[in-house]
Amino acid sequence: MKKLLLVSLIGTLSATLVVTATDAAAQSTPSTTTKKPAPKHRLVKRKSNATPAKADPVPEGSVEWACNEGAHFELKGDMKRDQIVTVHWGTKNYKLPREATTTGADRFHDVATGMDLVVIPTKAMLFSDKDSARLADECKTPEMAQGSPAPTQSSVLQKSN
């Protein structure tokens, strides 16, 4: 009886090993079936649903300031009297409120956007607080290019003294 039990156990184990070896061999050998190539699809150009970035229009009645390296901006408002001026830089309009200075320079600065315009009698400079960069330097109006001082409060104050 022990021999019969031993023979049946060996038979069962060998059958299991043969099945396992056959499965392993089937997985390691490449399959003989070929895959069908993926169907060639035609490329269709779709129109973009993204709207182009809106560019603010240049404010009417603005004066263009030409700067070094081909930069320029448009300024709308009277720097002698207005408390807020509009600067058109790039594709956007920035409303810059006047800030008091002790140096006599006119400064218009908007904390929210980081735009900062400083005007002295000989030139204007445009800064960005966000980038800590000078965006434009040596900016002048056509009149300033002819030798006139910048149209600032400081020039008005100098004339009245």
Going residue by residue through the chain (161 aa), what tens digit of pLDDT does each one get? Answer: 667 666 666 766 665 555 555 555 555 555 566 777 776 766 666 666 666 667 888 878 889 999 999 999 999 998 888 999 999 999 999 999 999 988 889 999 999 999 999 999 899 999 998 888 999 999 999 999 998 888 776 654 445 44
Token pair of 103 as six digits: 């140096």
Q: Which of 146, 60, 128, 161 is nearest to 137 (CA)?
A: 128
- Residue 111: its pLDDT value, please? 93
Do residues 62 and 86 touch, judged by C-beta distance below 8 A?
yes
CB atoms within 10 A of CB 11: 10
- Residue 156: its pLDDT value, please? 47
- Residue 109: its pLDDT value, please? 95
- Residue 142: its pLDDT value, please? 92
- Residue 60: its pLDDT value, please? 82
Do residues 138 and 120 touch, judged by C-beta distance below 8 A?
no
Token pair of 84 as six digits: 């807020």
pTM beyond 0.75: the answer is: no
